[in-house]
Amino acid sequence: MPTNPDPRRIAESFGRDAERYDRARPRYPADLITRLAADGHEVLDVGIGTGIVARQLRDAGCHVLGVEPDPRMAEAARAHGFTVEESRFEDWQPGGRTFDTIVAGQTWHWVDPAAGSAAAARALRPGGRLALFWNAYQPPPELAAAFGEVYRRAAPSLPFAIWQAADPYATVAEKTIAGIGPEFGAPEVWRYEWEHEYTRDEWLDLVPTAGGHHLLPPAELAAVIDGLGEVTGERFTMPYTTIAVTAIRR
């Protein structure tokens, strides 16, 4: 894999194993979902993927329409009962429809910020909410060091520094805030701290779904999985922070 892989190639790689992505990727805090559902029941999900966010919002009483550029992910979401329109969000046309809330879970960093903000403004009712959020995990220090050594040895082309940062995704949140246009009020940042206990097998099932892993040569990916399996205990607790950037349509 090249040292600086094309972000679009990474964005389009997740659908190679949509079933694993849906099975292994973490869900979002119930408090966040409840807060979003309180804004109204008509929701647009940008980058719906396999429907992880959408299912949580549907369970909270929302009606969710998805926009998704990857046909494989779109098909997975349809299998869960969602209507999905295949398009990059920057190019998607609402056709006169408006929504109470537009959400993007783990996807907005693939969207052009200025074009995405303008597209969201066209599709939101006045007073509607744009909510862009990410799950950021940060292994405990000893485990982070062991993971880092595995990646440096087995797949040096993959960035690992984010796991060793004091506040993962803080830079993404800052860039997101900077890209929100004048159609919106002042952005807010919501943070939710939580933990999830993984078995070794559950963790190794999740790892290939992280950005860039599916672009590694098979031998490198296998070396990463084998190396992580050697340093991961039978069970461990992963601290998570869910970071949400939200803004209200003027």
Residue 16's pLDDT is what? 85
What would be the CATH architecture of the domain defined by 7-138+165-195+239-248?
3-Layer(aba) Sandwich (3.40)
DSSP state of 249: B
Is the pLDDT reported for residue 166 higher than 70?
no
Q: What are the CA-CA distances from residue 190 to residues 13, 104, 144, 166 (Å)?
A: 29, 14, 25, 17
Is the pLDDT reported for residue 2 higher than 50?
no
Q: How far apart are CA 250 and CA 43, in angstroms?
A: 18
Lowest mean pLDDT among 6-10, 34-38, 71-75: 6-10
Edge-to-edge strands, sheet with 124-137: 83-86, 63-68, 42-46, 99-105, 124-137, 235-248, 188-199
Crossing angle of the two packed helices 141-154 and 218-231, in degrees rounded to 10: 150
Q: What is the pLDDT confidence band of residue 67, given thresholds at 50, 70 and 90?
A: very high
Letter string b/e over residues 41-75, b meaning 16 or more CB atoms within 10 A of that residue's CB = bbbbbbbbbbbbbbbbbbebebebbbbbbbebbbe
Domain map (residue ranges) of the chain: 7-138+165-195+239-248
Is the pLDDT reported for residue 163 higher than 60?
no
Mean pLDDT value across the chain = 92
pTM for the predicted model, two decimal places: 0.93
Residue 168's pLDDT is what? 64
pLDDT in tens, 207-229: 999 888 988 999 999 999 999 99
Among residues 164, 56, 34, 150, which one has the least CA distance to residue 106? Answer: 56
The pLDDT of 243-250, averaged and rounded, is: 98
Q: Are 184 and 248 in contact (CB under 8 A)?
A: yes
Residue 5's pLDDT is what? 53
Q: Is 188 helix (H, G, I), strand (E, B) or coil?
A: strand
